[in-house]
Amino acid sequence: MPFELTKDSVERLETAILQRNADTIRAELEELYPADISALLAELDPAQGHYVLTLLDVEVGAEIISEIESDTRTTFLKQFSSAELARYVNVLDSDDAVDLLKEQPVRVREEVIALLDDREQARFILDLLPYEPDTAGGLMQKELVKINVRQTVTECVEEIRRQAEDVEKVYAVYVVDDEGALLGICSLKRIILAKRGSKIEQIFEPDVIFAHTYDPAEDVAALMQKYDLDALPVVNVQNRLLGIITIDDVVDVITDQAQEDIQAITGVSAPVEEDDTVWAIAKSRLPWLGIGMVGSLLAARFLGLFEHDLLQLVPALALFIPIVGSTGGNVGIQSSSFMVQILADKSGLEMDLWQRMGKLFAVALVKGLLISAFVFLVTWLLLAHPLKLALVVASSLFSVVLLSSFTGTVTPIILSRFGVNPAVASGPFITTANDFLGYSVYFGIAYGLYHL
């Protein structure tokens, strides 16, 4: 049964900690996965969490630490000495160990590396530390199983047994030459089914998908999604095999990307967590709200230009202002969201930009015709407004749909070209811009028809 974090479960654990009841604490946590325990510890005081971890096996404690959110973990690990951290780093995968150490001050980082009993782990960590976290090198782990292309299947099995002691999950065996250059991949199934005495060069698959250490994390995630990979080998510029990226790390990248896009769409300018301060959360939301407010004030000022002219002449025009504004905003968000999806899909382009623009324009044309025809009939026949007013509203909506579709399509492209997250175009920016655009078109057409 999946674990559910509740107030009662936290209080029971806190009570056991205050009583220093080690047996109760172990019993409470015995049936839980490390990810569940990390969620519990995040609700405790760091000193209490430290005490809990001292009661658990080092391997379990290491998994728990690796599952804790980065911001929470930084505060949590201040309770640990360098010697204590080294015990956990010894048994972590190299990529998780590097993530943990990069969060620590340089002095603590160097002390922990010096205290590691596993010198191979220390070497792995030193190899990975220079890579930026948002690159393939920053995502990869050094633990893998590799075999020389000239070895036999029997030798390969023995090598797998030897190397797999330090590898938590064996996804495949990577084939290299004498220089360590990646030649291909060999599945465990092929190795098991191969005839005794066969050589690796006879059974390995040379067509292997790989990443370079400098490839962006987003490209790595897209590559693994496209080819449905559990693991991806990483090579340097000399094509030497350096490590692999596993699916769990890519899931983290995809999740982070989705969170960034959601925050951009909703107008949140900085990443925030639920447990951040009120001021931090408010500050992250104010910039785009301020921009939207300025845009709304400009739109109100624009409407004021017609206060003593059109609105006094035809007061019914005011009834349809919300329809024009909301339609423009909705159409713009639809178009920009669709374009953001297209820009995010780097798996291949079936149509060039102009073909895409033409198709989106055709879609906007259909939507505009249907919406404007429907509103024209309702305004003229059901609401019994004058024919001229019905024409103004219908023609305005048709124009607004076309223009909003255009701005919603073009804006993400422009932002992407300048290195700005195109998801920004799907939020308050596009809504405010299309509100102003819709009012301009509406009163422009009304002014033209009523002053003929």
Residues 6+ apart with CB under 8 A from 256: none
CATH 1.10.357.20 segments of the chain: 278-450
The answer as to CATH 1.10.357.20 being correct for domain 278-450 is yes
Q: What is the pLDDT of residue 1?
A: 58
Any idea which fold 7-130 has? MgtE N-terminal fold (1.25.60)
Q: What is the pLDDT of residue 234?
A: 96
Residues 6+ apart with CB under 8 A from 273: 69, 71
Residues 399-439 pLDDT 10s: 999 988 888 888 888 877 877 777 665 666 677 777 778 88
CATH 3.10.580.10 segments of the chain: 146-252
Residues 345-361 pLDDT 10s: 655 445 566 777 778 88
Q: Is the entire prediction scored with pTM above 0.95?
A: no
Average pLDDT over residues 269-284: 66
Residues 233-273 pLDDT 10s: 999 999 999 999 998 888 888 887 777 766 666 656 566 56
Q: Which CATH class for the 146-252 domain?
A: alpha beta
Average pLDDT over residues 351-377: 84
pLDDT greater than 80 at residue 215: yes
How confident is the prediction for the chain on average, in pLDDT? 84
CATH 1.25.60.10 segments of the chain: 7-130
Q: What is the pLDDT of residue 244?
A: 94
Tokens at residue 145, please? 């199983």
Q: What is the pLDDT of residue 212?
A: 96
- Percentage of residues in the chain with pLDDT exceeding 90? 36
pLDDT greater than 60 at residue 28: yes
Residues 6+ apart with CB under 8 A from 306: 443, 446, 447
